Amino acid sequence: MAGPFPGMDPWLEARGIFPDVHDSFVAYLRERLNELLPRGYKAKIASRVWIEATIDRQVQPDVSILRTPSALETSGGVAVASLPEVRPWVILVPYEEVVERLVEVWQVGDENRLITAIEILSRSNKTPGDAGQTAYRRKQAELFERRVNLIEIDLLRYGQHSTLIPLSRLREYPQAYDYHICVFRGGRPDRMEVYPVSMTEPLPSIEVPLLLEIPGVIIELQSISNRV
């Protein structure tokens, strides 16, 4: 069944829905790439893993009074007593392993080589202070330093700007938009390709770059979104 929007459906951004959208997009993207990639290249699903506490963050006052004054303290008296046995207060904090998937394009042969990484940004990637954003930023910086092609597909209006293109430059775009795709070509670190997208228009078709001397392949993002 077709969605009510020509491009990204904003209802799919909901917290309880988007993780499934994310993983489906990754799977279908990898499938389509393997239909299009030239001989000697292979797309695969890779994972990024981090550990985070499962307890909800609570807003607490800066100073808390955790005990009431004893009778001795209120009477003004002073007493000297032997030191009591000190025992720790044991607190169990539940943690879970979080796995986030992305697509990688490899040149395969005698020596396998990572050529392009494709990220579908998640809510964790765009939440300030979240372990998922820290892990994402670390991987982003590593790919940039290694001059690996990087495609970042941001289909979330939620959260903090997190793609490689500086927010100040992105704000120079003259028209309103809701989502964007950022393409970084490792051979041109001074140049980025950005596709701003409104929810009133289809997602664009983009070129997935390979090596400089090899033509990239064209992926129709809207076609993949329709499958999702």
- Helices and strands, counts by H and E, the chain: 5, 8
Examine the pLDDT at 59 and tell me if it is beyond 50: no
How much is the pTM?
A: 0.82
Taking the C-alpha atoms of residue 33 and residue 160, their distance in angstroms, rounded to an integer, is: 29
In the block, residue with structure tokens 């489906």: 24
Examine the pLDDT at 72 and tell me if it is beyond 60: no
Instruction: Give the range among 66-70, 126-130, 177-181 with minimum mean pLDDT.
Output: 66-70
Examine the pLDDT at 119 and tell me if it is beyond 60: yes
- Where in the chain are the domains? 10-54+91-227
At 89, the pLDDT band (50, 70, 90 cuts) reads confident
Q: Is the four-CA dihedral 186, 188, 190, 193 of positive or negative sign?
A: negative
